[in-house]
Amino acid sequence: MFENRPNRDAEVVLVGRSNVGKSTLMRELTGHDVSTGSKPGVTRQPNHFDWAAQDFMFTDLPGFGFMSGVEDERREQIQTEIVRYLEEYADRILAGVLVLDGKSAVEIIDRHADRGEVPHDVEMFHFLREVGIEPIVAVNKMDKVDDADERLNEICDRLGLYPPWQQWREETVAPIRAKRGSIEPLLECLRTRFREEKRDDLLGFVTS
């Protein structure tokens, strides 16, 4: 099990494949620099940023899926620990933000599906729901996508969300560009979630 988790009763977690920009997004959400790099798998332990007064924190969980230079056994161990973490703290997690690479997500999902495998991203989306964490899908790197609406519709389709994607705006689907600091759609989704959870005291953490 991951160690050194601060004892906080409210949490937003970031989950996703390696190198989709979770750590960059974490920096935008918290204003703190975290370890980032072009090499997948930089984050091997959760990064927590917490506030004692509000009993709240953001958590960037390690990336799952293929990681260059990481042995299969270690990769599987990380994935198992992510699942255990989400199961153990599900009742404290207000939102599970599944971060996808808008440029490559559909291709990766289809490639795994064509092999008869359940793609990790799709599996994680449904796993979050199974443990009672309603996911928010942050589709990152949208500045590299030619037709944003088409790509977001395809992603919704792969996740089992009925297109058009716009009907999921403000609650579930957030197209972002974390490296450019453009994350307002995600902030809006988080504001909606905090209000639903009657945690208006946390809205200050998701102002633009």
Domains of the chain in start order, with CATH, are: 10-202 (3.40.50.300)
Report CA dihedral (195, 196, 197, 198) to the nearest 10 degrees: 50
Question: Which of 143, 89, 109 lies closest to 16 in space, CA to CA?
Answer: 109
pLDDT tens, position by position, 128-143 = 999 999 999 999 999 9
124 membership: H or E segment, kind and range: helix 120-130
Question: Which of 83, 89, 74 lies closest to 44 in space, CA to CA?
Answer: 74
pLDDT tens, position by position, 27-85 = 999 988 755 443 444 446 799 999 999 999 999 999 887 555 567 787 788 889 999 99
